[in-house]
Amino acid sequence: MDIAFQTSPDHPYVKQHPEWFVHRPDGAIQYAENPPKKYQDIYPFDFAGAGADGLWRELRSVFSHWIAQGVRIFRVDNPHTKPLGFWQWCLSTLKEEHPDVIFLAEAFTRPKLMYALAKAGFSQSYTYFTWRTTKPELTAYVQSIFGGGVGGGVGGGAGGDGREFFRPNFWPNTPDILPEHLQFGTRATFIARAVLAATLSPNWGIYGPAYELQEHVAREGAEEYAQNEKYQLRSWDLQRADSLRPVLRRLNRIRRENLALQRLDGTVFHQTDNESLICYSRTTADRHNAVLVVVNLDPHNKHSGWIDLDLGALALTANQTFQAHDLIGDDRHLWRGPRAFVSLDPQVMPAHIFGIRRRVHSEESFEYFL
């Protein structure tokens, strides 16, 4: 359920509890503003005013009411515009009574404040993955959240302590956001962004039919869908031949079958000699399950290049032959050593998700070998 703590001018709270709102010098209630925008149909609450105690209890009761109706997931609108003290008190007391309830912070704000909301009790959070598109941007952003190394390090990335308390969601789009790279991208753009989201974070998702059918028309001058479902009812032909449903189904299956993709840490970026190719691995703590991902970030052109694998991160030795099983296309390759060559044509598939199989039988493995 979507929760937005604000009211319309004709809400009963306005007459019954005027002390819950900020007033202008002339006595009128102050409407919401985000300069240069003015929201004269929205009245924000005064969380620190004379009526704060009653307001806090009333807003907490909104959650309690819907929890009693069976709601267990709340997407909270703009929680960073409310005091952290309110959230610490509200969420902690609710979780004491209902530890299974999930609170999602819809907070696009400074990283420190997003982290503070997580520490205040929010179970999950929006992130800026949606706008990270280049290899350096993706690498730095993932390391800032999860930690991880580059080409020789496991764990410890700059600022990566966020994984101790921050539960991020990676979404290529949302009902509110159609980023520019999707507006002007190709089918490969949609696939590549889904692969990145599904393999870089344990929590991922899409705004469904619009993404499956690669809707890309934006409202003029905005990163928002022109035909937004917030303003109209729409029907979708999900059986269309160009639907991404088979690709998304495969991604979800890969995630279910690989525990490495379900955890916060275990990410290592591997060097490539082509800036259009990003390569990283995800492993479980015991390295038993290892997944290697390569994505072509250029949706228009075929790119090839060499990968310099961090063999230690994959629990491999320098002379060990191993199998790279492409879990998307089902191709299998035998590799040996730290260097591997890949080629990705976005017109075919812009990504590889390799399952790393370390045990490859040879004639020496059999008892009768002399």
**Active site (catalytic) residues:** 77, 106
How much helix, strand and coil, in percent to the nearest 5, is found in the chain? 30, 20, 45
Letter for the amino acid at 165?
A: F
Give the three-state DSSP class for 211.
helix
Calpha distance 227→220 (Å, rounded): 11
DSSP-derived pairing of the beta strands 2-3 and 73-77: parallel
List, in sequence order, every residue forming a beta bridge with 269; answer none if it has no partner.
Answer: 150, 280
Calpha distance 182→158 (Å, rounded): 29
Decide if 158 contacts 174 (C-beta within 8 A).
no
Structure letter (DSSP) for residue 81: G
Sequential DSSP letters for 198-223: HHH-SSB---HHHHHTT---B-TTSS
Sequential DSSP letters for 265-303: --EEEEEES-TTEEEEEEE-TTSSSEEEEEEE--SSS-E
Calpha distance 356→294 (Å, rounded): 13
H or E segment and range at residue 76: strand 73-77
Question: Crossing angle for the helix pair 187-200 and 245-257, nearest 10 degrees?
Answer: 20
Calpha distance 66→43 (Å, rounded): 22
Q: How far is the CA of 244 from the CAs of 113, 177, 214, 252, 308, in angstroms? A: 35, 19, 8, 12, 31
Task: Pick the closest to residue 134 from 218, 173, 192, 186 (CA basis).
Answer: 192
User: Nearest 5°: CA angle at 303, between 299 and 304?
Assistant: 155
User: How is residue 139 written in tokens?
Assistant: 């690498």
Handedness of CA 226, 230, 235, 240 (dihedral sign): positive
